[in-house]
């Protein structure tokens, strides 16, 4: 009897060897069944035509193709793709997303200090985690008829919707496509920092860690009726 299970890409084919390789910066380790998916075998290409530099980037000295996808072994021996090493990912309908480009656009919004854009291949739209700018957020909200402390405003759903509309307007002006716009967001009152483990020492987002910390909020946003 054939059983169809969703949420994975299946098991390796007989013609291919698959292994997972540590990605320390993203805290993915092969010993935990997570890491960059690498493939070797007769079905793997031998390199780019007359382009040794790109070939060296893709294939290591032992012939393993480094896919750039982050995988996770499941108990039944199948493989799930959970992340992208280069942070580029694809939505369920095939659109490719470069989250850092979108984040840079949204950070032009007056009330936004930090933003994390999230999506994956099982979802059809993007969501965001936004840290409002504490120096301007209260006054910005007051101008729109919302009164409260910084923390209270972060919990106000009407304020959240106002921030979302502001972000969409800035995104549209910057030329973001409809599928590049976040459809929902969570306002968080604490900045991402090196101290709380959400930024690297060079002040880059630790994307995997942010996803883990906000998994409850992410799941809640995606549990709503599709937008």
Question: What is the set of domains in the chain, with CATH numbers?
Answer: 8-84 (2.30.38.10), 91-225 (3.30.300.30)
In the prediction, which pLDDT does 123 show?
92
Sort 3 into a burial class: Cβ within 10 Å, 0-12 / 13-18 / 19+. Answer: exposed
pTM above 0.75, yes or no: no
Express each pLDDT in 73-96 by its tens digit. Answer: 999 999 988 876 767 788 998 888
Q: Is-contact 71 35, C-beta < 8 A?
A: yes
Express each pLDDT in 18-70 by its tens digit. Answer: 999 998 866 789 999 999 999 999 999 999 888 888 788 789 999 999 988 88
Task: Give dist(CA 7, CA 122) in Å, integer.
Answer: 7
72-81, 140-149, 200-209 — most confident range: 140-149
Sort 64 into a burial class: Cβ within 10 Å, 0-12 / 13-18 / 19+. Answer: buried
Structure token digits, residue 174:
């910057």
Paired sense of beta strands 34-40 and 65-73, if any:
antiparallel
Cα angle 222-211-174, degrees, rounded to a multiple of 5: 75
DSSP for 10-64, written as a single string: -PPPTT-EEEEE-BGGGTB-GGGTEEEEEEESTTS----TT-HHHHHHHB-TT--
In the prediction, which pLDDT does 90 show?
85
Under the banding of pLDDT at 50, 70 and 90, the label for residue 1 is very low
């Amino acid at each position: 009897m054939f059983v169809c299970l969703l949420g994975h890409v299946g098991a390796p084919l007989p013609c291919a060897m698959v292994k997972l390789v540590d990605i320390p910066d993203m805290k993915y380790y092969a010993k935990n069944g997570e890491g960059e998916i690498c493939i070797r075998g007769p079905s793997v290409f031998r390199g780019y035509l007359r382009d040794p530099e790109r070939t060296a980037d893709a294939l290591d000295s032992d012939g393993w193709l480094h896919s750039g996808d982050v995988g996770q072994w499941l108990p039944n021996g199948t493989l799930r793709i959970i992340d992208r090493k280069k942070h580029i990912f694809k939505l369920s309908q095939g659109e490719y997303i470069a989250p850092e480009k979108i984040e840079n656009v949204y950070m032009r919004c007056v009330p936004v200090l930090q933003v994390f854009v999230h999506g994956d291949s099982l979802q059809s739209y993007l969501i965001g985690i936004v840290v409002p700018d504490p120096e301007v957020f209260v006054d910005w909200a007051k101008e729109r008829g919302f009164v409260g402390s910084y923390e209270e405003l972060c919990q106000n759903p009407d304020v959240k919707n106002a921030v979302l509309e502001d972000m969409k307007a800035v995104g549209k002006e910057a030329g973001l496509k409809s599928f590049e716009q976040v459809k929902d967001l969570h306002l968080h009152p604490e900045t991402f920092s090196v101290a709380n483990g959400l930024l690297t020492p060079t002040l880059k987002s630790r994307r995997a860690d942010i996803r883990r910390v906000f998994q409850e909020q992410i799941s809640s946003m995606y549990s709503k009726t599709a937008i």
